[in-house]
Amino acid sequence: MAEKRMISKVISISEKVNELPDIFDMLLFTWMIPHTDDFGRLAGSPGKVKGLVVPMLDKTKQEISESLRRLNDHGL
């Protein structure tokens, strides 16, 4: 897994990202990027995403699961 990833500033004008219904969805998507492997993959279980990406946020595995579903539904 790469240690550093650059996130382009164009993410702020991405229509897919800006169409997400919840600000947490946007945050989760952008925070997941540095954790992906060289092919953009990341374990998708809500527990693993919570433990790796947002361990300090007060979010349940159910909330993470719902957010991941919305990301998937929007093609992210």
pTM, 2 dp: 0.88
The answer, yes or no, to whether residue 70 has pLDDT greater than 70, is yes
Q: Kindly give, in sequence order, each residue whose CB lies less than 8 Å from that of residue 8, ignoring residues fewer than 6 positions away.
A: none
Do 74 and 20 contact (CB within 8 A), yes or no? yes
Local confidence band at 3 (pLDDT 50, 70, 90 cut-offs): low
Considering only CA atoms, which of 8, 20, 72 is closest in space to residue 42? 72
Do 67 and 49 contact (CB within 8 A), yes or no? no
Locate all alpha helices (DSSP H) within 6-45, ordered by sequence.
15-18, 23-32
